[in-house]
Amino acid sequence: MKYILAIDSFKGCLTSYEAEKAVSEAITDYDSSSQTELIPVSDGGEGMLKAFAGALKADIVTTAVHGPMMRLTEAEYGITADGTAIIETAQACGLTLVDEEERNPMRATSYGVGELIASAFKHGCRKFIVGLGGSATSDAGIGMMMAITDKLAPRGGHFDDIAAELRDGCRFTLASDVTNPLYGPDGAAAVFGPQKGATPDMIKMLDSRAMRFAEISARHFGYDLSDSPGAGAAGGLGYAFMQYLGAEMKAGAELMLSLADFDSRLTKGCCVITGEGHADRQTLMGKMPYHVMKAAKAKGLPTWLIAGKVDDRQALIDAGFTHVAAVTPDDEDITEAMKKDNARNNIRNAIRQLLEEASTEKQAINIQPKQYDVNNHHL
């Protein structure tokens, strides 16, 4: 039996590759004759760089940038053979770069993302794939635009001095599963601000700041993209990329699977295993496991879904997942479950149980009595 593994990261715990490796080990331990193919994936959030760089065989470049609190830090990006830059914004402004007690989206800046863009531009890149997600910021991309201007415009210049070269000479493709607008009740600050440390008062100020920035930008350009799907991604970076750099927003999962040539790797008779940290109804709203399942279902292949936590199990089954399994035992503390070694062991145990269930089901099918129609033809 061959198993195709396309599992998103278990955020804050395991990368896509680490989760897939644990599954692969459990499968080969159970049946050494089984084959596994690991396809690390990301919808644009955490782990995007490694997943996309692996799919496109990109070289990794390391550079110094300013993190969300303007402290120097090292960040990576990829460059493919054809000169396409792969940028994971969280490398420069990620929530994991800020200690929990220091998180403050009123101060956090996306300046380092602009430095990554400028570095890749100076390396000759004119095509960019940018993963949006996991940011500590809610600055609507103001910091990024300041850095791009500082690094690429003539000394003392303005963004307009380089706008044509960036907008007309470059192509920016954004990868994200976020469809929120820049501001308002469903905007970046209101929806994602609390997890970045924003208080209710901060959310009001952040939202007001984003709205003012959009109004000023709209007057300057003569159009307003603040309500476009994905404008609120990564604290409003989606808006800045689209409004200022002419970026195109794409569903991160679809883009990833296309670049990985996923459909062609789904061969007859294989079983697909996907997963994420928490699976629920939101999984069916365009997250990576849903797109993996859709592709497998189109070829008549079963898809198993694993997750650290599972809600809405029946809805997931009804949508097309063959098996759905929560890997974390009910009695295990979440802090313990998030530790890498525990998470790996939980995944291995869950996969062994799924394999045993699948084997039992197969045996049950094989011993069912044959059924005949009235003409004695096998059904």
For every one of its 379 residues, what pLDDT tens digit does the chain have, with 9 covering 90 and above?
999 999 999 987 999 999 999 999 999 999 999 999 999 999 888 789 999 999 999 999 999 999 999 999 999 999 999 999 999 999 999 998 999 899 999 999 999 999 999 999 999 999 999 999 889 999 999 999 999 999 999 988 999 999 999 999 999 999 998 999 999 999 999 999 999 999 999 999 999 999 999 999 999 999 999 999 999 999 999 999 999 999 999 999 999 999 999 999 999 999 999 999 999 998 998 899 999 999 999 999 999 999 999 999 999 999 999 999 999 999 999 899 999 999 999 999 999 999 999 888 766 545 444 443 434 433 3
The distance in angstroms from the start CA to the end CA of the chain is: 26
SS3 at position 10 = strand
pLDDT computed for residue 372 by the predictor: 34
Residue 131 DSSP SS3: strand
| DSSP bridge pairs for 303 | 272
- pLDDT for 322 equals 96
> What residues does CATH 3.40.50.10350 cover in the chain?
2-39+269-366
Q: Residue 139 carries which DSSP code?
A: S
Superfamily of domain 48-253: Glycerate kinase, domain 2 (3.90.1510.10)
The predicted pLDDT at position 363 comes to 61
CATH number of 2-39+269-366: 3.40.50.10350
Cβ atoms < 10 Å from Cβ of 170: 18
Residues 200/228, Cβ–Cβ less than 8 Å: no
DSSP of 34-97, one letter per residue? -EEEE----SSSTTHHHHHHHHHTPEEEEEEEE-TTS-EEEEEEEE-TT-EEEEETHHHHBGGG
Which distant-in-sequence residues (6+ apart) come within 8 Å of 64 by Cβ? 72, 73, 74, 75
Residue range(s) of every CATH 3.90.1510.10 domain in the chain: 48-253
H helices present in 132-247, as ranges: 142-152, 160-169, 188-192, 200-221, 237-245
